[in-house]
Amino acid sequence: MDHRAPVEVREKVAVRKGDIKDCLLRIKAIPGLKEAVLLSTCNRTEFYAVMEDSVRPGAMEFFKLSGGDYEEISRYIYVHEGEKAVRHLFRVACGLESMVVGEDQILGQVKEAWERSKESQSSGKILNRLFLDAVTLGKKARSEVKISDVPLSVSYIAVRFIEEFFGSLKGKKVFVLGTGKTGRITIKNLIQKGVGEVFVTSRTWERALALKEEIPEVYLVPYEEKYRAMARCQIVISASGAPHYTVDREKFAQIYTGGGVAFLDLSVPRDIDPEIARLPNVQIFTLDDLKKTAEENQKKRLYLAKKIEEMVDSAVKDYLNWLKTLQVVPVIRKVSDFARAVCVEEFENLTRRLQNVDDKEKRQIKRAMERVCSKMTAVYLETVKYLAERQKFDPGLEFLFTGGDVDG
């Protein structure tokens, strides 16, 4: 279940971190279920399992563990098997299944889910390899494609927009009006960009104090002194959500000295009196100015997502090929053991007949025989793997590689 289900449904099956180990133990106790990994975040709750075919109906018991109404939540549950399940996890790790395509946080959550399963010993060879490949792919996709470098949220785009306007935000003084979600995220992005100082005000002083606790780097300004602080800054960003103008032209003009200010209004209705743009060296940007950048960024992300899809296709193929070769692991082991035994036997027969050979020469002979044996064996093993990947290997034909009894 993921973000496509309403939050009131998602919360019924979400598993808190402290309960994951116990939940994994209950899942693993389902008869015929061999391996399990549980991924539970604010936007998705998924469990991955290796199981016998007869177990699937019982595995759905996981979604009844919460004690919620199963009939209510069942229509939001999706089930993938085999290749589709592999592809889904790889897409999740790459951020292609996220509400915001390409977001970074999910990769760490996938890795953490895998680590918890290993600690609980609920994952095994198949899921360990699956999640290793998923995490590796997620890192590679972000490193090579850099989809998360293309911002989508208003806060990210606003900071990127104003940064492009100035060329750099290093050392700039910024005044932010508003301490809500948009204001907080904007402030954090500004600090990451290396602005000189960030001044903040709020009509509710308690909210300003709470913001100071969350982001100690900011300087608080009493609401009645906001104009004086604005006039000392090169950038003013407003995201208060008030139903009227919170920045008045006349009041600002009384303080403003003409040094130049860029106003960025992120509110609807607008916070900043548009007449302020008539003052010298003052410019105002609104959400409409960000719209073009947002649309372009969405197109860029969708384009980059296609590149990641190609990486997913390749990773799925590699994993499935590895999975197919698991059936011939016993055969490969038998081939190797058989070849090793033949090599030892022939070496011992040869050295018994050679009377005038010292230990150094015997070691050289042994290494030469081992190299010949290894090269010949490699040809057989590659053939076995090749046939296994194409599902054409019959385990009953292993006698061809080990010299066993045909009738056996």
Active site residues: 42
Q: 201: which strand partners? A: 177
The annotation status of 355 as a binding-site residue, yes or no, is no
Radius of gyration, CA atoms only, the chain: 32
The annotation status of 180 as a binding-site residue, yes or no, is yes
The annotation status of 82 as a binding-site residue, yes or no, is no
CA dihedral 323, 327, 333, 335 (to 10 degrees): -120
The annotation status of 356 as a binding-site residue, yes or no, is no
The annotation status of 207 as a binding-site residue, yes or no, is no
The annotation status of 234 as a binding-site residue, yes or no, is no
The annotation status of 183 as a binding-site residue, yes or no, is yes
The two beta strands, 261-265 and 282-285, are: parallel
Query: What SS3 class is residue 171?
Result: coil
The annotation status of 167 as a binding-site residue, yes or no, is no
The annotation status of 334 as a binding-site residue, yes or no, is no
The annotation status of 42 as a binding-site residue, yes or no, is yes
Q: What is the DSSP string of 10-22?
A: HHHH---HHHHHH
The annotation status of 43 as a binding-site residue, yes or no, is yes
Binding residues for substrate: 41-44, 98, 103-105, 109
Q: Residues at the annotated binding site for NADP(+)?
A: 178-183
Point out the annotated binding site: 41-44, 98, 103-105, 109, 178-183
